Amino acid sequence: MIVTVEPKETESETNAKSEAKTHIYGIDQSQVRKPTRHNSYRLFALGVLATVFLLLIICANVQMAFGVSRQLTFDELADLCQDEKEFCYETALLGNCFGKSVKAKLLAKQCKCSCESAQHRRIQNCCRTVGDHDMNFCLPLCGYNTTVNELGSALGLKCVSQLTTWAYCAGDANDNTKCCRGKGVEDKCLSFCKGDVPTCDVQSIFSYQPCLMNLKKILECQMENLDGKPKFDPQWRPNCDWERK
C-alpha cells in the first residue's frame, strides 16, 4: 500500500496565493472592511435620527396633554373646509374675517367654515393656555357657539367653575360693555361682556344664571370686537374666591 503525502505549503507559497487572489479579483482586504465600517456609521446615524423623531412625537403629545395652544394651519383648514377656496383659508389665518367692519362681515359670510374654524381655534387656544389643565374635559364648552342648553347639561354643571375662564377667553381682553348695553344686556351681566366674571365660586356663579338668557347677545358683542390677532394674556388666571381664604 502506497501512502501519498502532500507537501506542506511554505509561508511564502501561502502569501503568493493570497496576492494572486487579490490580483485576480482586484480586491484589497482593507477596502472590504471600509464599506462595513461605513454601514455602521449609517446605522448609527439612522438610530440617532429615529431617537430624535421619537422624542419630538413624545414632546408633542405632552404639549397636547397639558393644553399648550396650537395655531391652525393651512392644511387643517383645507381638510375642514373642503368646499371653500384657498382664498378663504388665507383670509381666516390672517384674521381678516374678525371684527365688525363691512369687509370682515362679507368675508365671514363668504368663508363661513374657514372663519368659524379659525375663531373656534382661537378661543380654544386661550382656554387651553389659561384654564385649569385638570379641567380639560370641559374644553368642548369653550366656544362662541356654546348654547344655553349645553351649559345646563351634565357636563356644563360639572364645568361651571370654568365659566370665568370662558368669559375671559371669549372677550379676548376686550371690554365690550358698550356693545352689550346697546343690545339690552342687563347691568348685572355686563361683567361677562368684558370677560371679568367677579367670582369662580360655584355657588356664586349660580346667582348669575339669569345672565345665560343674554348669552347670545354677549357672544355677538365679543365676536364683533375681535381683532385680527389674539390679545389674551397667557399669564392670566381667574381670581377665585377660595384663593383669598
How high is the pLDDT of residue 212?
A: 84
139: Cβ–Cβ under 8 A, 6 or more apart, which residues?
Answer: 67, 124, 127, 128, 131
Domain boundaries, the chain: 74-243
**Model pLDDT for residues 125-178, shown as the tens digit of each residue:** 999 999 999 999 999 999 999 988 898 899 988 998 888 899 999 999 999 999
- For the entire predicted model, the pTM comes to 0.67
118 vs 124: CA distance, rounded Å: 10
Write phi, then psi, for 229 (nearest 5 degrees). -120, 150
Give the pLDDT of residue 3. Answer: 47
Q: CA 125 to CA 224: how far, in whole Å?
A: 19
Separation CA 178–CA 228 (nearest Å): 20
Q: Grid coordinates in use for 78?
A: 383645507
% pLDDT > 90, the chain = 49
Q: For 23-37, 89-103, 148-162, 218-232, which range has the lowest pLDDT when averaged over its residues?
A: 23-37
